[in-house]
Structure 1
Amino acid sequence: MGNSYFQFKRFRVEQDKCAMKVCTDSCVFGAYVEAEDTRRVLDIGAGTGLLSLMVAQRTGAKIDAVEINPEAQQQARDNFERSPWAERLTLHPMPLQEFAPQNQQPYDLILSNPPFFLSSLRSPDAARNTARHSGELFFEDITAFTSQHLRPEGKLCLLLPPPEAALFQKKAQLQGLHLAETLEVYTYHGGKCIRHIQTYTFSPTATPTVKSFYIREADKVTYTPAFAALLNDYYLIF
């Protein structure tokens, strides 16, 4: 997406300073995650602030956002300040590892679209991957933070490609977090699954729920009714 901004119905996301632009799967994630009854939310790896803004639009929650990249920090801060919910949005310009010992808030919802590195892009050299890729280590940071700062009845929600989602599930189990639901997101009917939206809780689930969600019809052009309904409150085209 080449635009320097993305205009939603009730807010605008400037994105010229961020490497990660507004994308469809992130919008699906932001609209899908159950946040209506939350009082305190944490967005890990906020980027432009998209997820925080989407949750702020439909809740009265106070939202903390953690971001490590200087350019993204400024972009998110500006997007927050220009939104109708500025008083409920707080940016913490630091890594999660630094934020963790400072935080005194328990969260009802923790959400993240974390950095990940597709297996197909990895080097066959394990040592090279360890030096250059931080995805797996960051997964451990997220699960460790969640185990300490999520309310007993709270939820952790993530957006990841299928291989990384499977890896994250293993990391989460080590911290007593259990997969409750997976939403498989497909580009179109008959297309490939591009992302998993995972929901974790502290309560064990014998058989996690698995649902499918299609962005477009089989013609690869027309949005599905499910997508239109989910994004109706956000996208200008609906």
Structure 2
Amino acid sequence: MARNTHFQFKQFTVQQDQCAMKVCTDACVLGAWVDVENADRILDIGSGTGLLSLMVAQRNTYAAIDAVEIEAEAFYQAGENVENSPFNGRITLFHAAIQDFTSEHLYDLIITNPPFFQSDLRSPAGKVNLAHHAEALDFVSLLASIKRLLAPEGRFVILLPVDEGNQFRKMAAEQNWRLDQELTLFHQTDKKAFRVLMEFRNAASPTRDTVTETLNIYQEDGITHDPKFRELLKDFYLKF
């Protein structure tokens, strides 16, 4: 996906020139895939440009959405994006680390596209490190924050690279979270999987079988979008 200064969706625009994390295809898949039904209160951890909050607000027309972002420039740009959207009355932004964030409410749904490199080469740019690396938010801190803020019957959904997803899945199981749904994302059929999207809930919730799916962005030619991908993003992408 091109790194333009803005990205135009069907119902809103995401300005992104001040954000280390630009609009990317995998985040768009998360925003379109996550189950937003029966969620009155939604929390977006590490909101960046505000993309996920905006996508969720388009799909769920009644939820109150809180979005938390630690990096100052991303926080202010997300504020611009939300203010200029049709959903500005339902999205509230907070400039804070999630570890320090408090709320009067527990959340029915938590969504997050977190810093994911637990141990990797660091960028010289500080805000890039905050966006890509788990310096300010490791998995232990993230799970602790989710446990504190999620309603007992609530769900949380996370997007990660495959290797980090395997680490996180194991850690979540050890902390009594149950994997309910999993979507593995491929560029195309003959390529390795590059992202995994996972939905968890408290293991004490009624038992259900884990639903596992795969999604290709492109068909085998690497150019034509896969029909399932087009169907998922048709309410958002102008070209669909």
Whether 1:90 aligns to 2:92 is yes
Conserved in 2, the CA contact under 8 Å of 1:15 and 1:22? yes
**For residues 104 and 144 of structure 2, what CA distance do their matches in structure 1 show?**
15
The structure 1 residue matched to 2:73, chosen from 71, 79, 99, is: 71
SS in 1 for 2:217: strand
Report the TM-score when normalising by structure 2.
0.89
**Equivalent in the alignment of 2:39:** 38
Conserved in 1, the CA contact under 8 Å of 2:13 and 2:81? yes
Runs of 4+ in 1 over 4 A off after TM superposition: 204-207
Amino-acid identity (%): 45
**Equivalent in the alignment of 1:110:** 110
Distance 1:148 1:175, change over 3 A: farther
The structure 2 residue matched to 1:80, chosen from 79, 82, 97, is: 82
Distance 1:95 1:136, change over 3 A: closer
RMSD: 1.9
Conserved in 2, the CA contact under 8 Å of 1:147 and 1:177? no
**1:203 Cα deviation (Å)?**
3.0
Letter in 1 for 2:115: P
**1:138 Cα deviation (Å)?**
2.1
Conserved in 1, the CA contact under 8 Å of 2:115 and 2:137? no
**Equivalent in the alignment of 1:129:** none
- CA deviations on 1:193-223 (whole Å, 9 max, x unpaired) are 0100011011365863321111100100000
Distance 1:136 1:183, change over 3 A: farther
The structure 2 residue matched to 1:227, chosen from 222, 226, 229, is: 229
**For residues 144 and 118 of structure 1, what CA distance do their matches in structure 2 show?**
16
Whether 1:56 aligns to 2:37 is no
Q: What residue ranges of structure 2 are gaps of 5+ in the alignment?
A: 123-132
**For residues 137 and 90 of structure 1, what CA distance do their matches in structure 2 show?**
21
Whether 1:162 aligns to 2:198 is no
Aligned residues: 226
Letter in 1 for 2:82: F
Letter in 1 for 2:50: G
Letter in 2 for 1:175: Q
**Equivalent in the alignment of 1:12:** 13
**Equivalent in the alignment of 2:22:** 21
**1:137 Cα deviation (Å)?**
5.3
Report the TM-score when normalising by structure 1.
0.89
Conserved in 2, the CA contact under 8 Å of 1:147 and 1:175? no
**1:144 Cα deviation (Å)?**
1.1
**Equivalent in the alignment of 1:140:** 140
Letter in 1 for 2:56: V
Whether 1:172 aligns to 2:172 is yes
Q: What residue ranges of structure 1 are gaps of 5+ in the alignment?
A: 124-132
